[in-house]
Amino acid sequence: MFAMRTKLKTGQRRDAFYSGVFVSCDKMAIAVATIFQGILLVWSGFDATLPMQRPETVKLWILMLVITQPLGFLLGFVGVLFYPLTASAAARFAPGSTHPNSGGDS
């Protein structure tokens, strides 16, 4: 979406730049999530030497799962609510659009 907006404003394509930024942010998010998972395992009382984890540890895992999944959905939903994309803006960026400032390649 941002690449198409830049193309409309400047006439130049910047898809590779935005793709590189996205991939870099994605890799940083995966690294942070991995570190955070390790912290949560230690905090919950996980013990790798046990054949079966303690019931308190499993209860904490379930509680974290039940809290974080809906919270992530709500945060994403709120982000979408505030994204400034109207029907007219979407029509401008649609490939093959009849709008004079269409994002389609001509």
Helix axes 55-81, 15-44, angle to 10 degrees: 150
What is the band of 93 on the pLDDT scale with cuts at 50, 70, 90?
low
Name the DSSP letter for residue 103.
-
What does pTM read for this prediction? 0.53
**Mean pLDDT in the chain?**
81
Residues recorded for the chain: 106
The pLDDT value recorded for residue 32 is 95
Residue keyed to tokens 């942070």: 32
Q: Kindly tell me if the per-residue pLDDT of 104 is higher than 70.
A: no
Residue 7's CB: how many other CB atoms inside 10 A? 17
